[in-house]
């Protein structure tokens, strides 16, 4: 049975300027032992989607879904005791900023112990023993002496390891890691990713990895979902996605990889700038797409099926070129970005 099943999850926020749709009908399945990456630039709704799964969105959020289940149980209809049993225990999350996610007022030992007491009901001595074991498991040297440390006494990499230790304290079946390495330097990033993959290998948990970094996707995940302006624009196995991306946005993300181009980050998403609520009537990516033609600007695209995935595009790319059978009569693309009729 899949761990997580999401069908058509939508999240809208009530804001002063009206309803803002941050997540638009996304679907996702995560199986045990599987690492699924959700990739997309800042503001594409990756974190909001996973916070909806955890039930951690503020009251201004309207969450709807045709299905959102963990091991078959409806996450939108959990009683408070079911929520306590599942969230933070069977489903755990590592948040973006370790420095702000750890409570600065409490020691590492206290914060680890709190999770062990709440979810597993362990007594004091057992909590200490298990905390030391967890810190050792995430590669913290001299774990016993770290129990008395406060977060400000730890380096960024060390704090992130503590966050991971807290998240895995109750042996979750599903771990959601939100940009777990963004704040860290490159060597530490690689160590943390290795740690997450080895924890998956040991425990068989499923892992959802949220990232804006295609390099991280390539190194860790088996399957990838590309998100743009709240919508999923492509899903594929990581191998297929890197070999032949079908959505122009995926292609642009890959072209922005450091080994392929100097320009790493794309400019912000039109229609997703805070305070700007008008979305283009057609494809949301059309204003930035090298291959957009008239229909892309006026008609929303439907999902085109690909091997084990899809692309949300009027003319999915094959080998870096739009598929000719999908183009209107007479339209050809001589070079990317140049439409000739």
Ligand X SMILES: Nc1ncnc2c1ncn2[C@@H]1O[C@H](COP(=O)(O)OP(=O)(O)OP(=O)(O)O)[C@@H](O)[C@H]1O
Stretch binding ligand X (CB under 6 A), from 46-54, 150-158, 299-307, 319-327:
46-54
Q: Which of 9, 22, 135, 226 binds ligand X (CB under 6 A)?
A: 22
Residue 200 binds to ligand X (criterion: CB under 6 A): no
Question: Can you say whether the dihedral through the CA atoms of 11, 12, 15, 20 is positive or negative?
Answer: positive
Residue 328 binds to ligand X (criterion: CB under 6 A): no
Q: How many residues bind ligand X (CB under 6 A)?
A: 18
Q: Toward ligand X, which CB reaches closer, 40 or 88?
A: 40
Calpha distance 161→145 (Å, rounded): 15
Q: Which residues contact 45 (CB under 8 A, 6 or more apart)?
A: 11, 22, 23, 24, 26, 227, 229, 230
Calpha distance 199→191 (Å, rounded): 12
Q: 163 φ, ψ to 5°?
A: -55, -40
Stretch binding ligand X (CB under 6 A), from 37-45, 106-114, 161-169, 275-283:
37-45
DSSP 8-state class, residue 157: H
Closest distance of CB 318 from ligand X, Å: 28
Q: Which of 45, 143, 206, 322 binds ligand X (CB under 6 A)?
A: 45
Closest distance of CB 278 from ligand X, Å: 14
Residue 212 binds to ligand X (criterion: CB under 6 A): yes
Calpha distance 207→197 (Å, rounded): 9
Q: x/- string (CB under 6 A) for ligand X, residues 216-255?
A: ----------------------------------------
Q: Which of 40, 113, 157, 316 binds ligand X (CB under 6 A)?
A: 40
Tell me the β-bridge partners of 211: 39
Q: Which residues contact 85 (CB under 8 A, 6 or more apart)?
A: none
Residue 21 binds to ligand X (criterion: CB under 6 A): no
Residue 20 binds to ligand X (criterion: CB under 6 A): yes
Q: Which of 5, 35, 46, 131 binds ligand X (CB under 6 A)?
A: 46
Q: How far out from the chain centre does Cα 174 lie?
A: 13
Residue 267 binds to ligand X (criterion: CB under 6 A): no
Residue 55: CB atoms within 10 Å: 15
Question: Can you say whether the dihedral through the CA atoms of 97, 120, 170, 68 is positive or negative?
Answer: negative
Q: Toward ligand X, which CB reaches closer, 45 or 180?
A: 45
Element (H, E) at 20: strand 18-30
The footprint of ligand X (CB under 6 A) covers 13, 15, 20, 22, 40, 42-48, 58, 60, 179, 212, 272, 274
């Amino acid at each position: 049975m899949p761990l997580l099943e999401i069908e058509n999850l939508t999240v809208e926020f009530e804001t002063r300027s009206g309803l803002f749709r941050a997540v638009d009908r996304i679907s996702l399945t995560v199986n045990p032992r599987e690492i699924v990456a959700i990739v997309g630039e800042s503001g594409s709704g990756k974190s909001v989607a996973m916070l909806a799964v955890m039930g951690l969105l503020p009251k201004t959020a309207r969450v709807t879904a045709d299905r959102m289940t963990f091991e078959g149980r409806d996450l939108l209809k959990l009683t408070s005791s079911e929520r306590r049993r599942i969230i933070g225990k069977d489903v755990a999350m590592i948040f973006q900023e370790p420095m702000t996610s750890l409570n600065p007022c409490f020691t590492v030992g206290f914060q680890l112990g709190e999770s062990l007491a709440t979810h597993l009901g362990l007594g004091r001595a057992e909590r200490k023993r298990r905390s030391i074991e967890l810190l050792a498991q995430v590669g913290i040297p001299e774990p016993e002496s770290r129990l008395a440390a406060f977060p400000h006494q730890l380096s960024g990499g060390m704090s992130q390891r503590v966050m991971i230790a807290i998240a895995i304290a109750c042996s979750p079946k599903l771990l959601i890691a939100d940009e777990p390495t963004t704040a860290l330097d490159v060597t530490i990033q690689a160590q943390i990713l290795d740690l997450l993959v080895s924890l998956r290998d040991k425990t068989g948990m499923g892992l959802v990895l949220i990232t804006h970094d295609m390099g991280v996707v390539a190194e860790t995940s088996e399957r990838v979902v590309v998100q743009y302006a709240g919508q999923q624009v492509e899903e594929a196995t990581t191998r297929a996605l890197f070999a032949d991306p079908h959505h122009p946005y995926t292609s642009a993300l890959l072209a922005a990889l450091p080994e392929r181009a100097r320009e790493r980050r794309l400019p912000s998403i039109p229609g997703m700038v805070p305070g700007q609520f008008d979305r283009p009537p057609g494809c949301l990516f059309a204003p930035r797409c090298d291959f957009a033609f008239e229909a892309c600007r006026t008609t929303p695209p439907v999902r085109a099926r690909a091997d084990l995935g899809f692309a949300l595009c009027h003319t999915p790319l094959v080998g870096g070129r739009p598929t000719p059978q999908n183009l209107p009569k007479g339209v050809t693309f001589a070079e990317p970005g140049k439409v000739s009729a």
